[in-house]
Structure 1
Amino acid sequence: MTEWFSFAMMPAVLLLVGGLLLPLFKGNSQKSYSIIIPLLVIFSLTQMEMGSFGEINFAGISLVMFKVDKLSLFFGWVFAIAALIGNIYSLHISHTGERVAAFLYMGSAFLVLFAGDWFTLLVGWEIMAFASAYLIFATRKDPAVKAGFRYLMVHVTGGVLLFAGIVLHGLETGSYLFGPIDGAQQGGIAYTLILIAFMINAAVPPLNAWLTDAYPEATVTGAVFLSAFTTKTAVYVMIRAYPGADVLIGFGVFMALYGVIFAMLENDCRRLLSYHIVSQVGYMIAGIGIGTEMALNGSSSHAFAHILYKGLLFMGAGAVIHMTGKRKLTELGGLYRTMPWTVALYMIGAFAIAGFPFFSGFVSKSMVIAAAAGDHHATATLLLMLASSGTFLSTGLKLPYYMFFGKDSGLRPKEPPINMLVAMGIAACFCISIGLFPGVLYNMLPYAVEFEPYTGAHITESLGILMFTLLAFVLLLKYLNPKNTISIDTDWFYRRGAAAFMWLANKPVAQWEQRVITLGDGVILNTLHRLSKHSLIVDTHVVDGAVNGVAKTAMKSGNLLRRLQTGIVSHYALAMVIGLFLVIAVYVLIGSEAL
């Protein structure tokens, strides 16, 4: 009985099963239920013991369904806090499907987090892709549907690469237990495939455009969940599998700068914040590449802080969109008059992401930069500090100035619903408390910490960079006015590529098919008629009927192709979801016996 209770209280099981049962509740009962489940997840984390659970032998392969250690538990805590805050923020919505998708998304993230083997990780990875896509589709607007489709295709591709890499990795090593990939495999096919799959979910350029394309189109509440889980789950698995992979240092530094530069060009407030997910994850990726205990602690702590302050920023922008229906900076301004609480809470998140002293970003980001300096990566250290300046310039100055202050747009929205403000308030408290008491966060990290963020030199250096950035903003304000334009990112290539493919299928290929059918019809009939004159007994009427029937059937292929274009994805997605749940069901039944 105790073993079954322990299994049922696993965070992934609570959220996945809880999400599937959620439609049984209606109205206020459903809202209460959506808060109780995250609270149970938090309780379950307090009861967890270190070790491996659910060890089974499946088809001759040793698997471990759940593995708990300091790293997974550290990420588990922030995931649970984000789940609670996100559900409080979503209390006002009445869309059950969106709630179910959010629960499946969170549950699958926990499944990846506590996976002890590659196949358990893969199951969680795929559920994450489909459940999160629904949070984009749920707006039911044409741009969202198209962005959600592109998002799903990118993540399905990543899942295929991951599956292929796992199989090859298992064949090379003889083990499917999840852990660091041996350096001897570096450069091998399995090593590369898995790394690319992880980089897709981490939004590493040039594989980043799915994020900035899709997140702005998600529902107001869905975007808050999206900002928390996918990229940070990727950071977690990369800490596990690729610590010290030198190639990640360059990618991470490039990400930090890339996101900042594109954010400065943005007019859409959520797209701007999405680019800063790319930038901030860059710090984490760089830390993983450095690979020292200090750097890995920095990547982990920055992921913890980032989930909370980025969630707060998305909640602030979402509150504005919810109350005004506007999301472009050129359409906003003067909202401080009627939304003072939203402005104040947003600015706490802005100070945190910018790395102001006494806010969470200061005590986490500085650990990554110190690790880079301590490991003699001078160029990386300088560029990461430069990216910090750009972060403050766009999220702490440009976005709030044009969204809340600046010119008066004439909009006079009220404050958002109280549940949205409460959720923002909880996140803001974490942003401040972590900054004031970093020791609590540091004590949870996977490695012993010997780092003091609040030194005179560090505070002076950080404030100097931030104040110089403020001065630059004031002096260059007229050049920073947002423009109603569209920034072209790497998604241009697959958008154009897909359009070219469809043109090829609908034009040259279809026309060639038509000509072949027409030509074939005439050649076959003429040949058969000539043969019949040489005493062969051929019923030409039968031949005509048969050939014409074949031709008519073939000519319908164009319509069939178009039907397949619209239907194959939905059928594939449905089959994948059903298949994954069947795998989970079998896996759970087998694994429960081993607990």
Structure 2
Amino acid sequence: MTQLLPAAFSPGLVLIVAGILAALAPRMGRNLLGVAGVAIGFIHLLSYGNAPVGEALHFAQSSAMGFEFTGIRIDRLSVIFAIIFHIAAMLNVIYGWQHATRIEASMGLIYAGAAIGGALAGDLLTLFVYWELAALSSVFIVWAGGGHAAFKAGMRYLVIQVSSGLLLLAGIAVHIGQGNGIAFEAFSLTQADGSANAAAWLILVSFGIKAAFPFLHTWLQDSYPKASAVGAVMLSAFTTKLAVYTLARGFAGTDILIPIGAAMTAFPVFFALIENDLRRVLAYSLNNQLGFMVCAIGIGTPLALNGAAAHAFVHIIYKALLFMSMGAVMVRVGTTKATELGGLHKSMPWTTVFCIVGAMSISAFPLFSGFVAKSMITLAAAEAHLLFAYLVLLFASAGVLEHSGIKIPYFAFFAHDNFAPSVTGRARPKEAPAPMMIAMGIAAFLCVGIGIQPQYLFALLPFEAEYHAYTLDHVVTQMQLLLFAILAFALLVKFRLYPAEIRSTNLDVDWFWRVPGRIGLMAAVRGTAAGWRRIWGGLRRLAGGTVRSLYATHGPEGGLARTWPVGYTALTTAVVLAVALLAVFFAR
């Protein structure tokens, strides 16, 4: 394909430029710039072609300060992520056609461009630039949610994201100090002599923060639900998936990622079941789905890595669809609290259908996109004889059906009818606005299309691996799992054992740094201030005493200020001269 732009100009930069221009344009101009920017960037990406499996094409190469920079690396791993980031960016533009603010429209494009640029970066310093740009642009999307809560969540989000960038920069510095180049290749957590590789560990923790590893995950639940209906859809697509890409690039086959990923799939299930805010449920569900990808990267076989890439691809679409449906509810109703919803299927039927499509996709029902990717990961765990990881993945698959496949559509659109005119005295909420409907329709079409015709997705996967999604074993195993999970939900609801939806605030591990951590920090601040006051008081007293002593001798009334007789002056001069002569004599 003929290139529209110079090969050295990254497709991500196209979206970044469009985002900068969108900040200066009226609403329709912003929308048109968004569509044009994403379309041009996508065509430019396709113009590079795709490298054969195991090979790469390099562009925008240069040398500076002794470093070899590669601004664009085209291989099968980077291209599949760049493609889905473009699709997500287009869905964001359409979804926010009427409701995206100037900040969201502009920063959303820059954010998407940074993710695309990071996925195509061939060296660590270029990755760092895009890594930080993604953090700085996305925090404005959090703040655009409005209100003091969004501002505070954005500040916490910014601190955590910048910390990830600082760790990445520190790891790069140590990596260079070890005599390595800056090419972004695979890392080893141990050095040749068996000692820990500090550079690799720093970079892994940096990636882990953005991938929402356990105990590092709470920024996600804290910030995403504080964003607007449009902003949450934007946030769901890029940061964590860029982290998944970097883990697949840098740490494929790293054993420690298997238990980390397994834990990520399991613990959000319990939080999501008792959460009242349905957008926070989706945030915990996002943790759960990331765990499948991280576990697959840790397994590291070609099939597992294909599963991680495929799951990231389909997850961006169906998670965006679920956030879109909850965003549409928020626009029409003003809340996504389960205790305040229900019965919306009567006035928002299309949104209900789209939400159910997203729910069936995330639950991995056959003929939906989640099935063709998730079964790849569970099969890879089974083939690697990782029994514990396989069982945890099965449990997590059942859990995601409970909290995202059933809970989200059930409590939002069915359950108790809180919007009956006889209850509210008002007309039922309207269906979602047309642009939101179009974006949800496109995402739903992709969820079903990929599930029915997965070969088009499989053609993009980065490694050669034999896999067939629709085998009897895969279908029967998954359907048994899903049907038993549905039966369990029905019985729990029937016998009123399912956790009740109540207005509450659920505590997560961030409590430890929000409450005792804040107390400890403030105690340290007070102790530091008290110590500084003591030191400053001592310095002031010492300086005052010195000044008074000097004044006593050198002041107008001091001893040295009075008139001395000639004899004393002559004697003083003689003594000084004698000392000087003796010094000269002994110096010889």
CA distance in 1, matches of 2:382, 2:391: 9
- Looking at secondary structure, tell me which structure has more helix per residue: 1
**Aligned position for 1:462:** 478
CA distance in 1, matches of 2:28, 2:555: 80
CA distance in 2, matches of 1:527, 1:8: 67
1:503 lines up with 2:503 in the alignment? no
Match of 2:359 among 320, 325, 350: 350
CA distance in 1, matches of 2:388, 2:293: 16
Tell me the CA shift for residue 539 of structure 1: 8.5
1:420 lines up with 2:426 in the alignment? no
| C-alpha contact 1:443 1:449 (8 A) present in aligned 2 | no
**Aligned position for 1:334:** 343
| Compared CA separation, residues 8 and 98, structure 1 to 2 (3 A) | farther
Tell me the CA shift for residue 12 of structure 1: 0.8
1:216 lines up with 2:232 in the alignment? no
1:153 lines up with 2:159 in the alignment? yes
CA distance in 2, matches of 1:462, 1:69: 33
Alignment of 1:107-146 (within 5 A): 107-146=113-152
1:476 lines up with 2:484 in the alignment? no
Alignment of 1:368-383 (within 5 A): 368-383=377-392
**Aligned position for 1:569:** none
Tell me the CA shift for residue 246 of structure 1: 0.3
Question: Tell me, what secondary structure is at the counterpart of 1:365?
Answer: helix
Partner AA of 2:133 in structure 1: I
| C-alpha contact 2:303 2:465 (8 A) present in aligned 1 | yes
**Aligned position for 1:572:** none
- Higher relative contact order by CA 8 Å / sep ≥ 6: 1 or 2? 1
Question: Tell me, what secondary structure is at the counterpart of 1:5?
Answer: coil
* Structure 2 unpaired stretches of 5+: 52-56, 421-427, 559-588
Q: How many equivalent residue pairs?
A: 538
Partner AA of 2:460 in structure 1: M
| Compared CA separation, residues 465 and 531, structure 1 to 2 (3 A) | same
Partner AA of 1:67 in structure 2: R
Alignment of 1:379-528 (within 5 A): 379-410=388-419, 412-477=428-493, 478=496, 479-496=498-515, 499-500=518-519, 502-504=521-523, 507-518=526-537, 521=540, 525=544
Deviations 1:92-131 (A, max 9, x none): 0252122111111011101111101100000000000010
Partner AA of 1:495 in structure 2: R
Q: Sequence identity of aligned pairs in percent? A: 39
| Compared CA separation, residues 59 and 338, structure 1 to 2 (3 A) | same
CA distance in 2, matches of 1:28, 1:262: 41
Deviations 1:204-226 (A, max 9, x none): 11111111111110121111111
Tell me the CA shift for residue 498 of structure 1: 5.3
CA distance in 2, matches of 1:447, 1:507: 56
Tell me the CA shift for residue 4 of structure 1: 8.6
Q: Radius of gyration: which is bigger?
A: 2
| Compared CA separation, residues 82 and 539, structure 1 to 2 (3 A) | farther
Tell me the CA shift for residue 328 of structure 1: 1.0
**Aligned position for 1:53:** 59
* Structure 1 unpaired stretches of 5+: 541-595
| C-alpha contact 1:262 1:275 (8 A) present in aligned 2 | yes
Cα root mean square deviation, aligned: 2.0
**Aligned position for 1:18:** 18
CA distance in 1, matches of 2:442, 2:512: 41
**Aligned position for 1:287:** 296
Partner AA of 2:80 in structure 1: F
Tell me the CA shift for residue 492 of structure 1: 1.7
Tell me the CA shift for residue 501 of structure 1: 5.1
**Aligned position for 2:585:** none
CA distance in 2, matches of 1:516, 1:180: 51
Question: Tell me, what secondary structure is at the counterpart of 1:373?
Answer: helix
Deviations 1:472-513 (A, max 9, x none): 111112232212111111222232365235523653433444
1:162 lines up with 2:168 in the alignment? yes
**Aligned position for 1:272:** 281
CA distance in 2, matches of 1:14, 1:286: 33
Tell me the CA shift for residue 524 of structure 1: 5.0
CA distance in 1, matches of 2:536, 2:65: 50
CA distance in 1, matches of 2:280, 2:351: 19
CA distance in 1, matches of 2:47, 2:540: 75
Tell me the CA shift for residue 24 of structure 1: 3.7
**Aligned position for 2:583:** none
CA distance in 2, matches of 1:26, 1:246: 51
Tell me the CA shift for residue 170 of structure 1: 2.1
- Comparing 471-480 with 488-497, greater Cα deviation is found at 488-497
Deviations 1:164-205 (A, max 9, x none): 101111222421111111465383100100000000010011
1:303 lines up with 2:327 in the alignment? no
| Compared CA separation, residues 459 and 521, structure 1 to 2 (3 A) | same
CA distance in 1, matches of 2:448, 2:400: 18
| Compared CA separation, residues 40 and 526, structure 1 to 2 (3 A) | closer
Partner AA of 2:215 in structure 1: P
Match of 1:172 among 167, 172, 178: 178
**Aligned position for 1:207:** 216
| Compared CA separation, residues 497 and 102, structure 1 to 2 (3 A) | farther
| C-alpha contact 1:9 1:41 (8 A) present in aligned 2 | no
